[in-house]
Amino acid sequence: MKVLSYDSAGNKSQLDYDTFSFSGGEEHIRFSPASLLDTVKIEIFERLNDSSKVIRLMMAVDALRRITAESTAIELVIPYFPYARQDRVCVEGEALGAAVMANIINSLNFSKVTIWDSHSDVSPALIHRVTNIDQVALLGRCEELNKRLSVGELTLISPDAGASKKTLKISEKFNGVPEVIQAHKVRDLKTGDIIKTEVLGDVKGKNVLIADDICDGGRTFIELAKVLKNEGALEVSLFITHGIFSKGLDVFEGLIDHIYTTDSFRPANEFKSNSDINLQIIEM
């Protein structure tokens, strides 16, 4: 967790703090009151990829508010919004995870919350005073992709219906130059397994770019890449905002040639590379 202090002149400095976990699992954090004497705004940047980090964030906000007598605005930047994929109750008896997490964030009363490329419109609607930086803006920070898309060197692939709007927005950013092809996947309703993937367009002889917000284990993209390669795509690239890659990059070997992602879920130095896949991390 990075905590930044802004003084009345607009100068920014990073705040040091002590933190540790008790043997019972409780989180502890301590800031120095002297470091906050001229602070008019505080900004917290955290990757909430672990439940203990949520508790630590809550403890940090409470400590900072006590030091500043609740007079200082606190802003939060959480690029990856946890539980965003739990944005609906699919089966009776489940929790609405996105709402639970939003309620936690809202209870901390931040003056502003910034997230990146929300999984759906549900999470931004639930979070108070939120700014959602969309995928187009994030992709715009990758010079290589911008160049290739602007000249039509890459054909955009929307992996499923849920990604269609975002994929079309990428094409619109480049004045419609990149062609957009829709893909479709069919899942077994009981197991959730993908049983069929279709590409609704001609990819023969083309370099293609699949764009989506989250890659966890990667099954959607593995099955799609298989179909794209079988149907004649020359090069398959993947742009993912939140690269979790829980099964590593080896699962994409021989199927996906280039992967572009941000450091929203983990720092760049924590990604494990694969010699056969060109991995480019867009550091924010």
CATH fold for the domain made of 136-282: Rossmann fold (3.40.50)
Average pLDDT over residues 55-66: 97
Provide CATH 3.40.50.2020 ranges for the chain: 2-134, 136-282
Give 218-234 pLDDT, tens digit per residue: 999 999 999 999 999 99
**Which architecture, in CATH terms, is 2-134?**
3-Layer(aba) Sandwich (3.40)
DSSP letters, the chain, are -EEEEEETT--EEEPPEEEEE-TTS-EEEEE-GGGGTTEEEEEEE----SHHHHHHHHHHHHHHHHHTTT-SEEEEE-SS-TTTT--S--STT---HHHHHHHHHHHT--SEEEEES-SSSHHHHHSTTEEEE-HHHHHTT-HHHHHHHHTT-SEEEE-SGGGHHHHHHHHHHTTT-S-EEEEEEEE-TTT--EEEEEE-S--TT-EEEEEEEEESS-HHHHHHHHHHHHTT-SEEEEEEEEE--TT-SGGGTTT-SEEEEESSSS-GGGPPPBTTBEEEEE--
pLDDT computed for residue 275 by the predictor: 87
Give 251-275 pLDDT, tens digit per residue: 999 999 999 999 999 999 999 888 8
